[in-house]
Amino acid sequence: MPFELSYRQTWLHKINPSFKFLLVIALFIYLIFVDNPNLMVNYAIGSVGLYFFFTGHPWKRLLLIALPFLLVFVTSSTSMIFFGEGEETLFNWGLVHITKESLFRGLHLGIRGMVFAILGVVFSLTTRPVLLFYSLMQQLKLKPKYAYSFMAAIRLLPIMLEELQTLRHALKVRGAVGGKGIRGFYEKIKAFAIPMLSQSIRRAHRIAIAMEAKRFLNVNNRTNYYQIGFSKFDVLLLLYFIGVGVLAQFASVNFPYFGIEDVRVIG
């Protein structure tokens, strides 16, 4: 199947998924409070390193997935760069008013957005959903009812993709090009959404019955096929981020890229 990617197992794959999940969330929250652009750039370098060297995916795929990072960077920085407030004008053209302050704030936001994206992708590239949910059940006491619902839903995604393709063909054969503009768009949405939804609902209902036919609900003491524990790799990841944090702090003080320490107060 084209939806199943092959990759090399690395130590990142062996980390406890719940731990990885919580660590990434914690980093997200921490990064929101980082206002020093020098520090932010260093964190970006740290995450990019993890992304390119330790996810175990081939270079070509990694570069391809990296393209949207650029988009994230551009979209999250430009609005601030073009329209943000500031004193020291660098460029002025109609509504667009770039100042030194807005430029740096924009870049800072862009890099932050990118770091978020990279960490998120690192997480999803190195975590099998099934193991994540087993771990959530075992370590974070998620109810099996929800965990298995998610796992069943993930199974439906490739089936839905195939269905979308068939539907596109069928509509084309019927000559269903639809009008132009908003009305055409609305009709297109309707033509796709209703059959897809009706199929999905029916399918979900059938899977639910099949699961209960396999005695899913009347269980209190279920066992687990996968036992997810902790390992030295969890410590390794923690150390990696502590290391990146310390180095980033050190480098931002001793070898700053910009003469700005806080994007909130510039000039």
Partner 1 sequence: MKEITGVEDLRLKFPGTDSLLLKDFSISIKKGEKVLLLGPSGSGKSTLLQVLTGLIPNSVEVPMKAKRVNIPKSWGFLFQDPDTQFCMPYVDEEIAFVLENLAIARDEMRHYITDYLKQVGLQFEDIHTPIQSLSGGMKQRLAIASVLALEADVLFLDEPTAMLDPTGTLEVWETVKKIGENKTLVIVEHKIEQVIDFIDRIILLNDDGVIVADGTKKEIFSDYKHVLVEQGIWYPGVWEDYLRNRSSPNETNAKKPIVTLKEFDVYRGKEKKVHIKDLTVNQGEWITVLGENGAGKSTWLLGLMNLLKTKGCYQIDNQDARRLSKLTDYFAFVFQNPEFQFVTNSVFDEIAYTLRLQNWSEDQIVRKVETLLARFHLQPYAKQHPYHLSMGQKRRLSVAAATVMEQPVLLLDEPTFGQDARNTFAILEQLQQMRNKGTTIIMITHDCHIVKHFATRVLYINDGRLTLDCLPLQYMEEKQQSLEV
What per-residue string of b and e applies to 180-214 under the rule 16 or more CB within 10 Å gives b?
eeeeeeeeeeebeeebeeeeeeebeeebeeeeeee
Return the SS3 of 179. coil
By CB under 8 A, tell whether 264 contacts partner 1.
no
The stretch among 41-49, 79-87, 99-107, 168-176 that binds partner 1 (CB under 8 A) is 168-176
Provide the 10 A C-beta neighbour count for residue 148.
15
Q: Please select the residue that binds partner 1; options are 33, 227, 255, 264, rule is CB under 8 A.
A: 227
96 or 201: CB nearest partner 1: 201
Span of 1-9, 64-72, 115-123, 244-252 interacting with partner 1 by CB under 8 A: 1-9
Angle formed by the axes of helices 232-254 and 37-54, to 10°? Answer: 140
Say which amino acid occupies 133: F
Distance in Å, CB of 2 to partner 1, minimum: 8
Return the residue of 169, 179, 193, 267 that touches partner 1, per CB under 8 A.
169
> If binding is defined by CB under 8 A, does position 93 make contact with partner 1?
no
Q: Which of 24, 45, 72, 151 binds partner 1 (CB under 8 A)?
A: 151
SS3 state of residue 92: strand
CB 16 within 8 A of CB 234: yes
Out of 10, 78, 199, 249, point to the residue binding partner 1 (CB under 8 A).
199
Shortest distance, position 210 Cβ to partner 1, whole Å: 5
Indicate the residue among 4 and 95 with the shorter CB distance to partner 1.
4
CB of 68 to partner 1, least distance (A): 21
β-strands 89-93, 96-99 pairing: antiparallel
Q: Is 210 in the site for partner 1 (CB under 8 A)?
A: yes
CA atoms within 13 A on the CB side of 246: 5
According to the binding rule CB under 8 A, does residue 124 interact with partner 1? no
Find residue 92's DSSP bridge partners: 97
Nearest-angstrom CA–CA distance, 14 and 46: 20
CA 21 – CA 135 distance, rounded (Å): 10
Contact flag: residue 56 with partner 1 (CB under 8 A): no
Name the minimum Å distance from CB 204 to partner 1. 8
Rg (C-alpha) for the chain, rounded Å, is: 24
Binding site for partner 1 (CB under 8 A): 1, 3-4, 130, 148, 151-152, 154-155, 158-159, 163, 166-167, 169-176, 191, 195, 198-199, 203, 206-217, 219, 221-225, 227
